[in-house]
Chain A
């Protein structure tokens, strides 16, 4: 079987895979990084989003071999080494942006990419960006709030006034 190697969450990782092995399978089964989830088989749900060379990618939609040599970040690489949550993770907790937790890793990885490319997104931009991430628990409202709050905090600003936001 072919060899694949990549840097995952800052560590050099290698393994044997079949040609058909998906990146998500390599992460989950070979590396046992089970924070990345599989919620569908049609690349719709986004539970498997990771970063490949800095961009958010559905890891069910690329082969492990296609990520050979890449820099990959998974949800396990988002908190600090001492376990301190990133600002985005913290905002998800503060705003109750998760319930069962299954879609959460994909939401976080996807939202991180949004804020990187658009540090000051509007509510509409956040909702449209999340088109590729399905959540069945939260009705999205608190996910949207969490992302807007995280973006504000990363800009060094206070959290948006969500009471006014709902009244619009």
Chain B
């Protein structure tokens, strides 16, 4: 293995620019003669636009032009397209209402863009927007999903319903039969709370048009510039690919929210041609809260059937999934094919049936957010398995072990349409058991009790499907795009290598890890390899980065392109060494004739390819550059086990994470340092969901958590030092044996934390609690578990959203002895 090859924790080469302020994010770019756009957005969740008056605003200082939905309609622009079509159980296609760039007739969520004000400066655009007179007839809003399914108000009047689709997966009859024969049925009703992705870089876009060449350029904060070019060019603006360049330069995090095609980028691309000047838009954070697609938001009822030995017989799931007001790019796929297909988890449950109803509401659109469907499946499954452990009296470890798919059972087809290629669930479980010193937990619990704290331990065993995806398979499931990946390996004449990848790096470190892969496979120095991404004019094609797919699919394309380079190199080397190409092998950066001491270094073959003086020119073209498209054969299935320990202060309901251990199986690992960083980041987002984050709307559809003042972002002091480690079963069907690591932490950690909290609270009789574990909610759950504890406690239980500081004070003095006694057996 060359230095800095696969398996080495190579320091990242992208760091030099980020550490010195030399990154190049979209908002750092200014184009000559640039203007700025400000979007005036709906203050109402649902309403009819009675009138719009832009006259005064148009005359405001610096205003270049003001656009409304009527201008978009007059120009014949398409709405924003949806990339995935779901077919309901009854065979009907999902409801797919139009999603205009600027509102036409109605506004459907707070933040729905109504008017675009283009001006010389950002401030002038904002000032002028305040002079636009918008008269909106307020309509009642559909906010709660159950109520929205009952009838009016309808988000889209023409649908006469708020149902997007009613879909199902699995064998219903077999599942019913499993329940009929069950010794025990465990049931649960849970909410997977809505989240806001909040990458630290707000979205930004610059549209530019060159009339002389009829060429459009869009600079945008995207995880997948080619997908944006395809969706926006073909479906919205009718610009062919060769006239449209999309550049996604340095992007400051995405977590899914920058996959989708958004109205603002379509607007600046189109309008820059209308005004013949570049237009820039950069979102404020408050604007991001009402315009970036949000995540999760499921309400689920589920039942697990068990036999007398606590073996799982069947799982029945009924989920409502919030779509928000419009269908975002991949939204319909998230609670269906990315969710129900994972409901087998790590277990041999023979019969599973899931029904999913997707619901329109007057809220911001919901789409993929780190994990996308898989965190929702894992949360549901690991909560109900934990409950089964409690009800059967088995330890959480034992009930899982009894039901694990065994390592000799792979490949393992599940009853929910996927086939796991490989895994070893006992390996990660026993590893985390040791890492977390589970044996020592009773002592720690007793020690905490002596300090007046409730300590709990929670386990979660997750599986996910990454490396999205085999194109034919997803096509059959309703995807309107393919999901292969593309790489070009260009060997330059003097032997340096430029690699062009269709994936996009926005924190993942591809510029380092992909160079490691190429350096390793080609046996050349790491420094000789440069990775290029994020520009549709430089890269042949690609589907971008999401779903932990970059290395499993993009890396596989890279390996394939490198192999093609080696194959061509062998023919050149054979000619130079006067040998047969079949006899040439490639090792340690040199072409060798097997069984002889004849050898030619890689660099000499590269130079010969470009200076073909002595060359098999009749059979072989000059040059050394290869492109590969790689379409995966299956998803990859990373899996792992997480243990969380918490301490809860029963006086205040405050929850502290004391210890968190993660044992993951990501297949082969290219850069352990980067993988560890991905796990840390995923854990912080998952634990953030479970502990503090919540995107909340009131009953009128107003977003009540619309800034960092109101939406709790995890801070450094929320977490202990995570302990993370890995076990490896190499993926069987891609050339690098890799599975993907980007989302695992966010998928596996929420149930581990909630299970730990329930373990801590179970002595008090608390059986259920929803995320996030705000102190007020925990306190209320403690109080509700024994309402006789006092009037104050009963009041708290009835109003779980009441602030703990106000309501808890009287409770503290009144109930202290009884409460403490109940917990610790003292009076």
Contact = CB atoms under 8 A, between A and B. Distances in A.
B23 interface: yes
B527 interface: no
Contacts of B683: 139
Contacts of A38: 27, 202
Interface string B2-28: 000000000110111111111101011
B206 interface: no
Contact of B708 (A74, A85, A128, A134): A134
Contacts of B723: 166-167
B20 A78 contact: yes
B717 A134 contact: no
Interface of B, helix, strand, loop or mixed by DSSP? loop
Interface stretch (B245-253, B453-461, B482-490, B552-560): B245-253
Nearest to B198: A136
A22 to B, nearest CB: 11
Contact of B285 (A41, A108, A131): A41
A21 to B, nearest CB: 9
A44 B713 CA distance: 10
Contacts of A108: 19
A47 B21 CA distance: 11
B20 A83 contact: yes
A104 B708 contact: no
Interface string B182-218: 0000000000000000111110000000000000000
Interface stretch (A62-70, A93-101, A151-159): A93-101
Given A94-B11, A131-B717, A18 B508 contact: no
A115 interface: no
Interface stretch (B323-331, B603-611, B674-682, B781-789): B674-682
A98 B18 contact: yes
Contacts of B12: 93, 96
Contacts of B745: 139
A49 B207 CA distance: 29
Interface string A14-50: 0000101000000010001111111111101101000
Nearest to A78: B20
Given A41-B284, A127-B717, A137 B507 contact: yes
Nearest to B745: A139
A81 to B, nearest CB: 12
A133 B255 CA distance: 19
Interface in A97-132: 98-105, 108, 123-124, 126-128, 130-131
Contact of A99 (B22, B681, B722): B681
A45 B28 contact: no
Contacts of A126: 716
Contact of A74 (B15, B21, B252, B722): B21
Interface in B501-549: 506-509
A143 interface: yes
A59 interface: no
Contacts of A3: none
A166 B721 contact: yes
Which of A33, A35, A78, A168 has the most CB atoms of chain B within a 10 A radius of its CB? A35
B392 interface: no
Nearest to A20: B123
Which of B28, B682, B745 has the most CB atoms of chain A within a 10 A radius of its CB? B28
Contacts of B255: 136
Contact of B715 (A33, A39, A130, A138): A130
A93 B285 contact: no
A117 B232 CA distance: 51
Nearest to B708: A44
Which of A38, A92, A165 has the most CB atoms of chain B within a 10 A radius of its CB? A38
Interface in B109-139: 123
Contacts of B17: 101
B296 to A, nearest CB: 16
A56 interface: no
B80 interface: no
9 contacts: A40-B285, A40-B708, A41-B284, A92-B15, A104-B18, A134-B713, A136-B713, A137-B681, A139-B680
Interface of A: 18, 20, 28, 32-42, 44-45, 47, 74-76, 78-79, 83, 85, 89, 92-94, 96, 98-105, 108, 123-124, 126-128, 130-131, 133-144, 165-168
Given A93-B19, A101-B19, A142-B677, 8 more contacts: A42-B285, A78-B20, A94-B11, A105-B21, A108-B19, A136-B713, A137-B677, A166-B722
* Pairs A-B, 4 closest by C-beta atoms: A35-B21, A101-B18, A102-B252, A100-B507
